[in-house]
Amino acid sequence: MRYFLDTEFNGFGGTLISVALVPEHGDQEFYVSLPLPDEIEPWVAKHVIPYLRHVPPGIDLELNRVEAADHVAAYLEGDGDPVIIADWPEDLAHFCALLVTGPGKMAGVDFGLRLELINAAGFSAAANSRVPHNALHDARALRDFYMAD
């Protein structure tokens, strides 16, 4: 199955704040936020942080990095061929970095997964999202854009 990915992070090169995966079919969405860094970039403080909790209560989890990585692995483990789709390279970079849980260790994605960076020229998650700069809502907007083609 294809899963549409979005992340929020603390500015260019900054730490991961939240990650969401939205499946192409069904409503089993994934969302997790991570502990906030001590210093938050001003733009992120204004446009991202106020919207972190704007997700359904059943999936609104705040976990540390290792717990979040294990949660991603558990979410995807029932799928024999997961494909992670993003429209921005930094989303894929943060997602992959999250799966690394320590030196020489990674979350249990031993089933493998594929990553795909799509050409979404003209698409803006923020312009099409119900709650702009919230990873879950932006991932939903990306799915809707992709599936409309």
The answer to whether the CB of 43 falls within 8 A of the CB of 13 is: no
pLDDT tens for each residue of 110-140: 888 999 999 988 899 888 999 999 999 999 9
SS3 (DSSP) at 32: strand
At 69 the three-state DSSP class reads: helix
Angle at 7 between CA 127 and CA 149, to 5 degrees: 50
pLDDT of residue 12: 93
Read off the amino acid at residue 125: A
Q: Return the axis-axis angle of helices 89-99 and 65-76, rounded to nearest 10°.
A: 100
User: Would you say 141 and 128 are in contact if contact means Cβ atoms under 8 Å apart?
Assistant: yes
Residues 31-61 pLDDT 10s: 999 999 999 999 999 999 999 999 998 898 9
